[in-house]
Amino acid sequence: MLRALDAILEEGIPIKPAYISFVFPSGSGLPFAEAGTSIENGDGMSALVSLLRPRQGWSLSGIGINCTKAKYIPALTKDLTLRLSELSKHHGSIEAVLFIEPDGGLVYDGATRTWSLADSDDSTTPASWEQNVLRGIPGYPARSETESPWAGVVVGGCCKATTDHIKRLIVAKAGLHPSS
């Protein structure tokens, strides 16, 4: 994607805002990640956040977590936020949006081409999903004493996130209490 944006710029085409999103199926690393770039040691997440640094003539508008179980969102966004704060300290403020788009919690079986509930995982209920997503939003309602380095946060859903999941986020954002 970065090479494609460089090529567009070379052709003189104005670059529109773009963001890049990653999946964390296990909650602790990217699929097919190179050795030594794990989330646990911080190198992997630092490498992802470094993509937000301005490049020659353009920069990414944001970074996201997509198609990942909601139960992993709080730890992942906490780490992304920490890494962006560190990057901003060394390179000046970086205006970037955080995108959070977890899946609905179901597991896809490629052999049978069906979706099913994960064994012994109650984090897929709309109420649990909502709480995990909300806990992952930096500064919502007030997660820490420090100011969030993000210019904004966009929250939604991915595979098998239902209208019930999204409705709960809307209700929470409005400060209302869901009826169920």
24 lies in which domain range? Answer: 17-173
The answer to whether position 153 is within a domain reads yes
The mean pLDDT value of the chain amounts to 83
Dist CA 21 CA 35 (whole Å): 20
The answer to whether position 60 is within a domain reads yes
The answer to whether position 10 is within a domain reads no
* pLDDT of res. 43: 63
Dist CA 178 CA 127 (whole Å): 9
Average pLDDT over residues 28-43: 61
Highest mean pLDDT among 10-19, 92-101, 144-153 belongs to 92-101
What are the DSSP E strand ranges found in 27-180? 62-66, 97-101, 107-109, 114-116, 152-155
The answer to whether position 131 is within a domain reads yes
Q: How many residues does the chain have?
A: 180
What percentage of residues in the chain have a pLDDT greater than 90?
33
The answer to whether position 55 is within a domain reads yes
The answer to whether position 104 is within a domain reads yes
The answer to whether position 80 is within a domain reads yes
Per-residue pLDDT band for 40 (boundaries 50, 70, 90) equals low
pTM score, whole prediction: 0.83
Q: How many domains does the chain have?
A: 1
21 SS3 class: strand
The answer to whether position 78 is within a domain reads yes
Per-residue pLDDT band for 180 (boundaries 50, 70, 90) equals very low
Average pLDDT over residues 13-33: 81
